[in-house]
Amino acid sequence: MAIVRTSQTVATMSAMISAKIPTFLWGPPGIGKSSIVKQIARDAGVECIDLRLSLMDPTDLKGIPFYERESHSALWAPPSFLPREGRGILFLDELNSAAPAVQASAYQLILDRRVGEYTLPEGWAIVAAGNREGDRGVVYRLPSPLANRFVHVEMEVNVQDWREWAIKRGVDTRIVAYIGFKNEALFTFDPTANERSFATPRSWEAVHNIFQSTIPQLLLLDTIAGAVGKANAVDFLGFCKVMNLLPDIDAILHGESAEYPSDISALYALSSTLVGRILSDPDEVKIDHLLRYTLNLQSEFAVMIVQDLQRQGIRMDHLSGYGEWVNAYAYLLC
């Protein structure tokens, strides 16, 4: 089984979907398997039908038999949720959580693209996803005949890919900064531990939504702990306090005098905050002032800020400050 990082998963799955090759995407809970499939469909401008076979009976896919008067025979009425035309992705999410009898009813649909009286339209691809058997979820071992009908891809968590996605999505800069500072906090799932709450990319997105809510400050710790676990919540909120001690961001972006923090956690916080501000207002004068400010910043953070902005499509090579920046940090770019 191929084990790939998030960015590679998108490329691999896109190619398999384009070629109409049935593919099974594996991975632990909360890392974004379903989101990736749906995002591929959105990017391609096609429909995505999400079928949860774990909620179905074996007859739900094949349909219900009825008597056809003219031929004096029984025909099967296909279910209305299966596509009849167009292009798209038939997404069998949590396939290995379905009962074995339901999995068996999917054999013919996956291999032959038909079941009973129904035929899957030519423009549709089949993708399945599920948690691994060791992830403490309710799963059934895929029967060999069914497993052999798929190309299997296992997705792993990658901090750099997540940071790029989070910056692009506008995830709270405190969260992006914290994960940059403490990479291991992105994913703390332990299948051997009996924990209700643990950190995953999905649960950190929930923390972002908590910050957008009207939750009282008094309840913030317990609420975040309900998403990522108590230890992660305490450590994260402690990190957030560092962000209140940062230099004046407006002064930096207006070319005015500003301090340079030396604490590592403060530098991560400052870097993410500056990137977020530029992405929300990509004014060239502010970018030029930012570049000049980084000339006296610790080199690894100066490079991280510029690379994060460039990955998000911010052009700066025509600015005079960029020439000075390249001269200062060219030895790190080789």
**pLDDT, position 65:** 67
Distance CA 145, CA 154 (A): 19
Verify that 150 and 170 share a domain, yes or no: no
148-162: average pLDDT: 91
Burial of residue 329 (CB within 10 Å: 0-12, 13-18, 19+) is: middle
User: Could you give the C-alpha distances from 163 to 154, 183, 210, in angstroms and in order?
Assistant: 20, 10, 19
Verify that 129 and 242 share a domain, yes or no: no
23 pairs with which residues across the strands?
A: 127, 151
Model confidence at 285, in pLDDT bands (50, 70, 90)? very high
176-187: average pLDDT: 93
Query: φ, ψ for residue 225 (rounded to 5)?
Result: -60, -30
Kindly state the helix (H) or strand (E) to which residue 75 belongs, with its residue range: strand 73-77
**Within 10 A of 313 (CB to CB), how many other CB atoms are there?**
9
**pLDDT, position 233:** 96
Verify that 133 and 250 share a domain, yes or no: no
104-130: average pLDDT: 87
Contact 107, 62 (CB under 8 A): no
Q: pLDDT digits over 69-101, tens only? A: 777 676 766 778 889 999 999 999 888 888 888
**DSSP state letter for 95:** G
Better-predicted residue by pLDDT, 142 or 89: 89
Q: Which amino acid is at 209?
A: N
**pLDDT, position 53:** 83
Domain boundary among 155, 185, 213: 155
DSSP 140-155: -PPPHHHHTTSEEEEE
Verify that 84 and 19 share a domain, yes or no: yes
Q: 38: domain CATH number?
A: 3.40.50.300
**pLDDT, position 70:** 74
* Domain with 252 in it: 159-333
Verify that 87 and 138 share a domain, yes or no: yes
Quote the number of domains for the chain.
2
Model confidence at 333, in pLDDT bands (50, 70, 90)? low
Indicate if the pLDDT at residue 242 is higher than 80.
yes
Verify that 140 and 283 share a domain, yes or no: no
Distance CA 235, CA 220 (A): 13
Q: pLDDT digits over 262-280, tens only? A: 889 999 999 999 999 999 8
**pLDDT, position 74:** 67
Rounded to the nearest integer, the mean pLDDT of the chain is 89
Verify that 145 and 175 share a domain, yes or no: no
Verify that 325 and 256 share a domain, yes or no: yes
Strands 87-93 and 114-115: unpaired
151-169: average pLDDT: 91
Q: pLDDT digits over 210-239, tens only? A: 999 999 999 999 999 999 999 999 999 999
Angle between helices 220-228 and 201-212 (to 10 degrees): 160
Distance CA 118, CA 191 (A): 40
**pLDDT, position 133:** 75
Verify that 85 and 229 share a domain, yes or no: no
Domain boundary among 155, 185, 215: 155
Domain boundary among 127, 155, 183: 155
**pLDDT, position 118:** 81
Verify that 283 and 246 share a domain, yes or no: yes
113-134: average pLDDT: 87
**DSSP state letter for 99:** -
Question: 3-class SS at 231?
Answer: helix
26-38: average pLDDT: 90
Both tokens of residue 134? 């060791």
Verify that 237 and 301 share a domain, yes or no: yes
**pLDDT, position 4:** 73
130-140: average pLDDT: 76
Verify that 183 and 122 share a domain, yes or no: no
Distance CA 90, CA 74 (A): 27
